[in-house]
Structure 1
Amino acid sequence: MSECYLSLVSLTYAYKAKESLRRRGISCRIVYTPEHLHTRGCGYSVAVQGDCERAARVLRQDGIKILN
């Protein structure tokens, strides 16, 4: 199963994203944003197992801004 990273604006939003995804059965964890992806923001991402596009849609629907 593949893993992708969704960069967020703050650690607070990383925790909100984690909770939002877990409520919908999407496996994820909070990680430091990998150097090659870190352009701005707090430096935290959620690492998502599985369908990254679905995870991104869920977060956007919940009003959580994704940086990268």
Structure 2
Amino acid sequence: MDYFVLWALGFGIFWLGLRFDDEVLVIVSALVGSILVIWGLTSAPLPLQLFVEVSCVVALSFVCMRCIERGS
């Protein structure tokens, strides 16, 4: 269950970083938040990892298909 803590910290830091006006703080918080989210994903159980990865691939394929349709 520690992966939930890492995800919460990662998304929380990422969300707080978007509220800053300074570009350096936004970039640092985005990097730290991304590292914590990835760390949480790697410590999650395998079925949850596969679910998240398949969901990301499916979501990106829909976005890519829309781009291809617009270009044609």
Q: Same fold (TM over 0.5)?
A: no
More strand by share: 1
Q: TM-score range by the shorter chain?
A: under 0.3
TM-score relative to the length of structure 1:
0.28
Instruction: Say which structure, 1 or 2, has more relative contact order (CA 8 Å, 6+ apart).
Output: 1
The structure number with the bigger radius of gyration is 2
TM-score relative to the length of structure 2:
0.26
More helix by share: 2
